[in-house]
Amino acid sequence: MGQSLERRGQHLDLLPAVESARDFATKARAENTRRSYASDFSHFKQWCFDHRLESLPATPETVAVYLSDGATRLGLKPSTLARRIVSIRHMHRLAGHDDPTRHPGVGEVWKGIRRELTEAPDQKVAITVAQLRQMLSAIPETKRGHRDGALLLIGFAGGFRRSELVAINVGDLRFEPDGLTITVRRSKTDPTGRGRAVGIALGHDRLTCPVRNLERWMAAGGIDRGPLFRRMHRGDIVGSDRLRPASVATVVKAAAAAVGLDPAFLAGHSLRSGFVTAAARSNQPEWAIMRQTGHRSHATLRRYIQGATALRDSPSGHLGL
């Protein structure tokens, strides 16, 4: 963008606006998304280089052969190839080239790959309330323990994505007599930052009350401004740096392993899916669950709900067997 203006040496007064346009363009998507695009496209670019093919712009034939080679010789999963398609499409559009992934030939190859190599979604197991209580009972009475307990409970009760959970600042909290309201400034389904308010009610049990555990962590860690959930250093010292999204999975897996649960089946997302599962089993309406989690798609939400209520709602119990 703006290269033609610079080459002609015209409209020099617009050059600052050109630079601003570039800056805005890079911020159109989240940093993690941009990093993912770059990583996926680099794989395609290297493959093209190895086979003496042009990657940008690429022909539809090149993309079709890349997908076929990826699915067969390279053994890439359909989910991985789907990401590569999105990245190839994005990079071509960004460079002003025609999108080769839209060619009917590429579409037919991709359709055949999906039909032949259908894979079940790799979803981690949802944490149950009973498992969460078990994990919390084994967490040590240290500052790190207070942080981990608050992280687990706020993540679960809020139905937060990992990125949303670690992005919470003290200024986003509003304590009330009946609980706590957390303002989510930006999320995966809200890239423009309209924000949403998530209510966290007081719990009935001090061990599992999200609000009390959060207050305990803030008091123990001296957290009165800035990032809410922070890195810990040796000697149980609270750092100033914000936790990374991947650290949520680390906390979940460590707490699970401490009580004999298999951490291989759990991740940071297990807190969010655990909330949806528990809410569905307690007959909470879909609109209320979606308002809490920020889901935009009923179809996505129902993937969790159907699994959670499959036995409860099964007609097999009414067959007189």
The set of catalytic residues is: 161, 188, 269, 272, 295, 304
The answer to whether 295 and 196 are in contact (CB under 8 A) is no
Q: Is the backbone peptide bond immediately before 57 cis, with ω within 30 degrees of 0?
A: yes
CA atoms of 289 and 305, how far apart (whole Å): 10
CA atoms of 160 and 64, how far apart (whole Å): 38
Give the Å distances, CA to CA, from 195 to 156, 172, 176, 186.
19, 11, 19, 6
The answer to whether 293 and 197 are in contact (CB under 8 A) is no
Which value, in Å, is the radius of gyration of the alpha carbons in the chain?
24
What DSSP assignment string belongs to 273-315? HHHHHHHHHTT--HHHHHHHH----HHHHHHHHHHHHTTTT-G
Tokens matching residue 59: 């022909």
